[in-house]
């Protein structure tokens, strides 16, 4: 294994806590249709596969006919309140500053336009060489295609990259692409759901620095 040169991050639940803004948009979108108000704790269990899939999970098959209207209302509200409460997790910006010698990318299942604007509004976009969303490639996580796309852009082999995320979708995407994976335990999923990860980050992204040192030492 060679030295890591590229670090790929998931966005929601890994770099930023966007759960309240997503929940608020979801409740706004569902309100006219008689759905019960959702709590943040409920929302975080459903996010990760993209907004359209989120709608399908919440609405269910019985009311699937309203999906397009609900989706439109969600996107309108969410776009206007994208970073009202969304903030980077503790230690994220400090860690990104310390990773200046590495290439960095974001791969989210959130749409690219929203992912990019969220990072721009939080002053974080400049950290990343590539920002991909769920609509940037024909397939999204857990497909390896978004990861392989970034590797191709950087002209790197899989052994030079590390994938960091809080969801099994991130770990599967990384594994399927052949890159090293690190599961985040402070995000939207418990660490138990990330058992396949090569490394675990329990409480703060700064733990990634020690993981990188460990990988370097083992080489």
Q: Which residues are catalytic?
A: 10
Please give the Cα distance from 162 to 146 (Å, whole number).
Answer: 13
Q: Phi/psi class of residue 13: alpha, beta or left (left: φ > 0; alpha: ψ in -120 to 50)?
A: left
Q: Where are the alpha helices (DSSP H) in 62-206?
A: 67-80, 92-98, 112-121, 145-154, 168-177
Please give the Cα distance from 106 to 86 (Å, whole number).
Answer: 17
Please check whether residue 125 is in contact with residue 131, taking contact to mean a CB–CB distance below 8 angstroms.
yes
**Paired sense of beta strands 180-184 and 87-88, if any:** unpaired
Cα four-point dihedral sign 128, 166, 23, 70: positive
Please give the Cα distance from 149 to 133 (Å, whole number).
Answer: 12
- Reduce the DSSP state of residue 46 to 3 states and report it: coil
- Reduce the DSSP state of residue 34 to 3 states and report it: coil
């Amino acid at each position: 294994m060679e030295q890591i040169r590229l670090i790929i991050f998931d966005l929601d639940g890994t770099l930023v806590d966007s759960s309240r803004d997503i929940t608020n948009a979801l409740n706004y979108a569902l309100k006219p249709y008689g759905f019960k108000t959702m709590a943040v704790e409920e929302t975080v269990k459903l996010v990760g596969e993209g907004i359209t899939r989120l709608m399908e999970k919440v609405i269910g098959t019985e009311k699937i006919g309203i999906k397009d209207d609900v989706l439109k209302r969600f996107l309108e509200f969410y776009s206007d309140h994208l970073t009202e409460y969304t903030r980077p997790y503790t230690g994220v910006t400090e860690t990104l500053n310390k990773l200046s010698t590495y290439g960095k990318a974001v791969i989210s299942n959130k749409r690219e336009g929203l992912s990019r604007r969220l990072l721009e509004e939080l002053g974080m976009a400049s950290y990343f060489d590539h920002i991909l969303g769920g609509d940037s490639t024909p397939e999204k996580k857990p497909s390896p295609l978004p990861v392989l796309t970034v590797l191709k852009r950087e002209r790197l082999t899989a052994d030079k990259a590390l994938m960091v995320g809080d969801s099994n979708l991130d770990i599967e995407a990384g594994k399927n692409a052949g890159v090293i994976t690190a599961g985040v335990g402070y995000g939207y999923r418990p660490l138990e759901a990330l058992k396949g990860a090569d490394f675990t980050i329990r409480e703060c992204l700064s733990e990634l620095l020690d993981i990188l040192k460990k990988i370097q030492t083992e080489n």
